[in-house]
Amino acid sequence: MLEKATLKLGETTFDLPIVIGTENEKAIDISKLRDVSGYITLDSGYKNTGATKSAITYLDGELGILKYRGYPIEQLAEKSTFLEVAFLLIYGDLPKKEELDKFQADISRHTLIHEDMKKFFDGFPSKSHPMGQLSSLVVSLSSFYPESLSARQTDEEKNLTIIKLLAKMATVVSWIYKKSIGHPIIYPQNKYDYVTNFLNMTFGQRTEEIEIDPVVVSAMNTLLILHADHEQNCSTSTVRMVGSSDCNLYASIAAGISALWGPLHGGANQAVIEMLEKIKDDGGDTEKWIKKAKDKDDDFRLMGFGHRVYKNFDPRAKIIKKACDDVLNKLGISDPVLDIAKKLEEAALHDPYFVERKLYPNVDFYSGIIYRALGFPTDMFTVLFALGRLPGWIAQWKEMRENKEPIGRPRQIYIGEVNRDFSEIQNRK
């Protein structure tokens, strides 16, 4: 095993330490390179840059492996609940029975949000995007819990902030939905587990008790688990970057929510359904749309296809495809966009353009179809992704704090004008 890398710049050589992870991932540590050589490394989009050492999530994009704290995603999706996975990600181990009971009870105690915050929901225009609302509401929580602002919180205080955020997020998300359809909000109820409580606040009515189908609870658990963490993606790196300035948890997560909103990231689940709808309304000719996606002069991309790191398959897509079939069968829904999705997937998987570029359906290709079957409007999909990703963001923020990581501050290569003299406005050409 190599212990160091040697970089030769002209006649001078530099020894750079090698870092090896527990899954045998290898890195060259260049953190001192600029000090000793004057050079930085350049890697636009951080495609080959490790920003941290992390013990939370491991993924292998070539082999399609995803593990949280060492547990394969397939086992977690099949056997655990979202809350168990949240505990695992945040605290490092699967909870024992009494730990899980306490975690659930602690969360139940904090699901209410300050009554004054209800006015915030009223302030948004009725058609405003739920992701903008979510980001604003999450950062607003910091005003109600100013004790969270200190970068020097004790472990106990930090943990209480984490519990509050996990608890209140489900309430905030369901109230955003209720407001969007003009229905009265439903308060949380401690008799329910986390996911059932969320579904009750979202689909429940003040006029009558509703029955929540266990298939729906199970599908929701699966979706949230599959989205719970994905190591250093755009939104998670944002959370860590913002948190690295000693910024409080609420503000760091709100920044992550904004990063997730983009259609190249979490916003893809909304974009997928909008694309499938468009193809359906256009007559369902999938070949025509595949051709558009391949055309370099056309901006259109097949949404839900391709991934920055998965280059053979997305293991979450496999699990979700099955969950999708289960939900549609159980609820007796036949969705024409599912047929379009299947045709599109089939055609793309055999098309040399997609095969050569290793473009496969990602987790978002099917998640939207399930959310739709459960009754969520399209613009809520990315909000549900955020609800699922919350424990991962929290775990990453906590790890970054505990490791006392330095403030994030990338460098650049300047390529602009040099040495221009100021000219008075009347003399400018």
The residues that touch ligand ACO, with contacts defined as CB under 6 A, are 264-266, 268, 293, 301-308, 357, 359, 362-364
Q: How many whole angstroms separate alpha carbon 162 and alpha carbon 392?
A: 12
Q: How many whole angstroms separate alpha carbon 374 and alpha carbon 53?
A: 38
Phi/psi region, residue 2 (left: phi>0; alpha: psi -120 to 50; beta: rest), is beta
Q: How many whole angstroms separate alpha carbon 102 and alpha carbon 173?
A: 23
> How many other CB atoms are found less than 10 A from the CB of residue 288?
11
In the complex, least distance from residue 381 CB atom to ligand ACO, rounded to whole angstroms: 11
The residue (of 233 and 244) whose beta carbon lies closer to ligand ACO is 233
The residue (of 252 and 362) whose beta carbon lies closer to ligand ACO is 362
Phi, psi of 31 (to 5 degrees): -60, -25
In the complex, least distance from residue 64 CB atom to ligand ACO, rounded to whole angstroms: 14
Phi, psi of 225 (to 5 degrees): -65, -45
Q: How many whole angstroms separate alpha carbon 101 and alpha carbon 95?
A: 9
Query: Which of 152, 365, 390 is closest to 269 using CA atoms?
Result: 365
Q: How many whole angstroms separate alpha carbon 41 and alpha carbon 51?
A: 13
Residues 324-340 as b/e (b if ≥16 CB within 10 A, e otherwise) read beebbeeeeeebebbeb
In the complex, least distance from residue 418 CB atom to ligand ACO, rounded to whole angstroms: 31
In the complex, least distance from residue 13 CB atom to ligand ACO, rounded to whole angstroms: 33
- Contact call for residues 376 and 177 (beta carbons, < 8 A): yes
The residue (of 178 and 316) whose beta carbon lies closer to ligand ACO is 316
The residue (of 166 and 302) whose beta carbon lies closer to ligand ACO is 302
- Contact call for residues 172 and 132 (beta carbons, < 8 A): no
Q: What is the DSSP string of 270-335?
A: HHHHHHHHHHHHTT--HHHHHHHHH-TTS----TTB--SS-SS--HHHHHHHHHHHHHHHHHT---
- Contact call for residues 118 and 178 (beta carbons, < 8 A): no
In sequence order, the β-bridge partners of residue 13 are: 8
In the complex, least distance from residue 47 CB atom to ligand ACO, rounded to whole angstroms: 7
The residue (of 175 and 379) whose beta carbon lies closer to ligand ACO is 379
The residue (of 363 and 383) whose beta carbon lies closer to ligand ACO is 363
The residue (of 179 and 227) whose beta carbon lies closer to ligand ACO is 227
Would you name the residues annotated as active-site residues? 307, 364
In the complex, least distance from residue 238 CB atom to ligand ACO, rounded to whole angstroms: 13
Closest residue to bound ligand ACO by CB: 306
In the complex, least distance from residue 65 CB atom to ligand ACO, rounded to whole angstroms: 16
Burial of 365 (0-12, 13-18, 19+ CB in 10 A): buried
- Contact call for residues 177 and 124 (beta carbons, < 8 A): no
